[in-house]
């Protein structure tokens, strides 16, 4: 699936990488937007402090940085980024058998990046302000 990621620079700032032979050609990169056709690789042992500051702030605002946080009347918002489970989580690459509250930060961040690429900061009505300040979307 092709995702338009305005957050490409943030992904690189977090120590994430794309294989050099998989990067899009310069002429294929629109202004202020990077089209990534390959998956972003996130280190296995990533910590909250390894994420770009806007994502750290989002997690602190949403869940106080707790990976196993749960909220909502139906306990549907889970994990550090309070991702709605199961619909949003599964639709953006999360494992249907592993809810966000039991997923690693790596998995949660991967899904959160895909959600942001798809919908911007809208899924985080209040705390999304940190992403908007950083990425303008």
Query: Contact, 52 vs 58, CB < 8 A?
Result: no
Give the number of C-alpha atoms closer than 13 A to the C-alpha of residue 6, restricted to the C-beta side.
Answer: 16
Tell me the residue range of the domain where 17 lies.
3-40+47-135
Which pLDDT score, from 0 to 100, does residue 120 have? 95
Task: Residue 94: give its domain's CATH number.
Answer: 1.10.530.10
So what's the pLDDT on residue 3?
46
Q: Under a CB-based contact definition with an 8 Å cutoff, are residues 124 and 82 in contact? A: yes
Both tokens of 40, joined, read 């972003």
Contact in structure between 69 and 101 (CB atoms under 8 Å): yes
Tell me how many domains the chain contains: 1
Give 48's pLDDT tier (boundaries 50, 70, 90): very high
Element (H, E) at 4: strand 3-5
CA separation for the pair 94, 22 (Å, rounded): 23
Residue, of 133 and 37, whose pLDDT is higher = 133
- Please provide the average confidence, as pLDDT, over all residues in the chain: 81
The mean per-residue pLDDT over the stretch 65-88 comes to 97
pLDDT band at 103 (very low <50, low <70, confident <90, very high): very high
Using DSSP's 3-state secondary structure scheme, residue 13 falls into helix
Token look-up 């909502």 returns 72
Q: Which residue has the tokens 């919908």?
A: 119
More confident residue, 12 or 51: 51
- Which pLDDT does position 38 carry in this prediction? 52
Question: Given this model, what pLDDT does residue 128 score?
Answer: 97
**pLDDT confidence of 26, banded at 50, 70, 90?**
very low
CB 86 within 8 Å of CB 77: no
């Amino acid at each position: 699936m092709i995702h338009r990621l305005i957050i490409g620079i943030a992904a690189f700032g977090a120590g994430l990488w794309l294989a050099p032979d998989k990067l899009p050609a310069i002429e294929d990169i629109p202004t202020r937007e990077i089209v990534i056709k390959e998956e972003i690789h996130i280190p296995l042992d990533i910590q909250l402090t390894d994420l770009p500051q806007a994502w750290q702030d989002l997690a602190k605002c949403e869940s106080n940085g707790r990976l196993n946080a749960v909220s909502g009347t139906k306990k549907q918002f889970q994990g550090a980024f309070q991702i709605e489970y199961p619909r949003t989580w599964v639709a953006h690459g999360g494992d249907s058998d592993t809810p966000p509250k039991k997923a690693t930060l790596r998995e949660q961040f991967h899904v959160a990046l895909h959600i942001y690429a798809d919908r911007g900061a809208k899924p985080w009505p209040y705390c999304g302000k940190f992403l908007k300040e950083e990425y303008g979307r």
